[in-house]
Amino acid sequence: MEFVILLGAPLLGAMVLGVFGGRDRAPEANVGFSLVTFLAACALTSRIIAHGNLLVAREQFFIDAFNVFLVTLTAFVGLTTSLFSRPYMRIEAAHGRVSEGQQRLYHSMFQLFMATMLIALTTNNMGLMWVAMEAATLSTVLLVTLYRTPASLEAGWKYFILCGVGISQALFGTILLYFAAEKILGSEGVSALLWTHLNAVKGQLEPSVLGLAFVFLLVGYGTKVGLAPLHNWLPDAHAEGPTPISAVLSGLLLNVAMYAVVRCKVLVEGSLRSSLPGRMLMGFGLLSVVLAAFFLWRQRDVKRLFAYSSIEHMGIIAFAFGMGGPVANFAALLHMTVHSLTKSSIFFAVGHATQKAGTQIMDNIRGLITLSPTVGWGLMMGTLAILGTPPFGVFASEFLILTTAMKQQPWATPILLLALGVAFAAIFGRVQSMVFGDTSARRLPHPPALIPVFTHLGLVLLLGFFIPPYLADWYRAAARLIGGE
């Protein structure tokens, strides 16, 4: 039941807002649908906690510890983002950057996007997961190009082509997976594509095929995760789209893609019985961290800056999943959570900052703390959090990842140390000069929505000090699921 609402609400929202999305109450409606989704997610979560895993719709959908917390996270961030986008889009409209039609498009696509992500998370069918991922791309392409500026069109085009091509690779990977599976599970019905069944028989799947399949899947979904060198669409799409979209893109979409990769990794490792997939992930992870760190050094556009930081963090997560083991997996999951919370809150703050300063070029943004202390402190705190300074939760996960790396993969630690140092210098130096100093900027027509920012930061802060037991249990269960024995 909750489940139907969970998927139904956003789909319905997409349709409704597709028609009325231009009305001046549309933002509230948007919030409403997101709220319903979130409540459904909470209900679902409590049910999972109560009764354990859940299979619905003839095993087409499967909810376990691993994806249920991602579902809740997604729904939650979706809610806060809709809250944030309420004044944001109003201000944009007031600045005359979006027409009514564009608002309609924005709202309905936002809901659709949420729906696709939720489907991708909850489905048990690898094929359906692929379809949902593709749909997620398609629903956001038009949002990236919302402003119709040349830059945004270019960004959208790159996003479309690169992700489209990538996702096609993933499809081929899925086909190979199916091909390997149908030998054991038979081609009748869809059972050969159901993750639960695959997972049950992963030991018997043909290694050579699954190896190839994994390569295609990794390249395919890895493109959406934004692993270097497949990341090139990411900074453009983040920088040119409206800020709420940047927030959900790097806060949620990347997580979902990473989720897909990990699901596949579980199967493949089970079949290969070798650490090759893990090593591939680690390689991608390190490469992403290092490249992102050096790209960060050259940024002038604030949203690009944080887009690259997302790449860096996805790299860290990939590295952690690649290492495997209970602690690393736990840390990776924790990092997914705190990263999406922190990064979206940063984008909220950045959104208002850019609206205040009227530009995204960092050299022209100064003295936020004097202009609007809340935005300034929000940005400063968020940045410190994302840079892994305690007592924020990001530090907790990085602490675990680095210490584990020191034990299991000591060779990698110098690279990580270097990259983290460079990234820190790059981000902190710029943010500091944006937040501090003197300013001459104008007031905004609508009061900024800072509840989301500080809610997220508060949660991240909490996670740094204290992880609620049931959350911890999820993480442990999920870590075990991913193969953290």
In the region spanning residues 30 to 69, those forming contacts with other proteins, defined by CB under 8 A, are: 60
- Neighbour-count burial of 465, counting CB atoms closer than 10 A to its CB (0-12 exposed, 13-18 middle, 19+ buried): exposed
The rounded distance, in Å, linking the Cα atoms of 139 and 136 is 5
Which token pair is 167? 């996702």
The rounded distance, in Å, linking the Cα atoms of 29 and 26 is 5
Q: Is 26 near other proteins (CB under 8 A)?
A: no
Name which position in 51, 438, 440, 443 contacts other proteins (CB under 8 A): 438
- Considering only residues 62 to 121 of the shown chain, the ones binding other proteins according to CB under 8 A are none
Minimum CB separation of residue 67 from other proteins in Å reads 19
How far from chain centre, in Å, is Cα 210?
26
Q: Which of 478, 472, 293 is nearest to 396 (CA)?
A: 472
- Considering only residues 143 to 202 of the shown chain, the ones binding other proteins according to CB under 8 A are 145, 148, 150-151, 153-158, 160-162, 164-166, 168-169, 171-172, 174-176, 178-179, 182-183, 187, 189-190, 192-193
Can you spell out the DSSP letters for 11-40? HHHHHHHHHHTTSTTHHHHHHHHHHHHHHH
Q: Is 326 near other proteins (CB under 8 A)?
A: yes
Q: Is 239 near other proteins (CB under 8 A)?
A: yes
Task: Sketch the per residue contact string, 214 through 233, with other proteins: x for CB under 8 A, - otherwise.
Answer: -xx-xx---x-----xx-xx
C-beta separation of 162 from 232 below 8 A: yes
Q: Is 391 near other proteins (CB under 8 A)?
A: yes
Q: Is 427 near other proteins (CB under 8 A)?
A: no
Residue 39 or 135: the one with the smaller Cβ distance to other proteins is: 135
Provide the residue type at 283 as one letter: G
The rounded distance, in Å, linking the Cα atoms of 42 and 92 is 32
Name which position in 72, 81, 475, 481 contacts other proteins (CB under 8 A): 475
Stretch that binds other proteins, among 33-41, 43-51, 309-317, 471-479 (CB under 8 A): 471-479
Nearest-Å Rg of the Cα atoms of the chain is 21
Stretch that binds other proteins, among 2-10, 33-41, 42-50, 433-441 (CB under 8 A): 433-441
Q: Is 369 near other proteins (CB under 8 A)?
A: yes
Q: Give the residues across from 389 on adjacent strands.
A: none
Which token pair is 464? 């740094």
Per rule CB under 8 A, count of chain residues that contact other proteins: 109
- Considering only residues 264 to 303 of the shown chain, the ones binding other proteins according to CB under 8 A are 276, 280, 291, 294-295, 297-298
- Residue at token pair 């999406």: 340
